[in-house]
Amino acid sequence: MYDLDKTIKEAFALLMSMPDVSRGLSFIEQDQTQAIQDQKAMVIIEAPTFGEAPRALDYSARLKALGLTNVHIDRHGNALATRPGQGAGPVILLEAHLDTVFPIGTDVTPVERDGKIFAPGICDDTRGLATVLSVVRAFNATGIATQGDIIFAGTVAEEGMGSMRGMQGLLADHPEIAAAISIDGGGCDSIIYQATGMRNYEVTYRGPGGHAYVAFGLPSPVHAAGRAIAKLSDLRPPADPKTTFTVSLVAGGHQIHAIAERAQFSINMRSDDQGELERLGAAALQCFAAGATEENERWGQQAVTVEYEVVLDVRAGTQPAQSPIVQAAWAATELVGVAPRLVAGGCTNSNAPISLGVPAVTLGRGGREGGIHSLAEWFDPTEAYRSPQKSFLLLLALAGVCGVTEPVMARVPS
Give per-residue pLDDT as tens, 369-390: 999 999 999 999 999 999 999 9
Pairing of strands 378-380, 368-370: antiparallel
Q: Which domains does the chain have, with CATH numbers?
A: 6-195+317-410 (3.40.630.10), 197-314 (3.30.70.360)
- Going 211 to 215 to 221 to 227, the CA torsion angle's sign is positive
**Is the model more confident about 409 or about 314?**
314
Helix 386-399 / helix 6-16 crossing angle, nearest 10 deg: 110
Pairing of strands 210-211, 305-314: unpaired
Give per-residue pLDDT as tens, 175-200: 999 999 999 999 999 999 999 999 99
**How confident is the model at residue 252, as a pLDDT?**
95
- Mean pLDDT, rounded, for 53-65: 98
**How confident is the model at residue 410, as a pLDDT?**
52
**How confident is the model at residue 259, as a pLDDT?**
96
Pairing of strands 150-155, 91-97: parallel
- Cis status, amide bond into 84, omega within 30 of 0: no
- Going 182 to 187 to 190 to 195, the CA torsion angle's sign is negative
| Distance from C-alpha of 35 to C-alpha of 38, rounded to nearest angstrom | 5
Q: What percent of the chain has pLDDT over 90?
A: 96
Distances from the Cα of 224 to the Cα of 235, 258, 266, 267, 356, angstroms: 17, 15, 14, 15, 39
Distances from the Cα of 121 to the Cα of 110, 114, 181, 398, angstroms: 10, 18, 21, 30
Chain centroid offset of residue 181 CA: 11
Give per-residue pLDDT as tens, 126-181: 999 999 999 999 999 999 999 999 999 999 999 988 989 999 999 999 999 999 99
Pairing of strands 177-183, 360-363: parallel
Give per-residue pLDDT as tens, 102-117: 999 999 999 999 999 9
Region for 262 from its dihedrals, namely left if φ exceeds 0, alpha if ψ lies in -120 to 50, beta otherwise: beta
CB atoms within 10 A of CB 122: 26
**How confident is the model at residue 413, as a pLDDT?**
37
CB atoms within 10 A of CB 229: 18
The whole-model pTM stands at 0.90
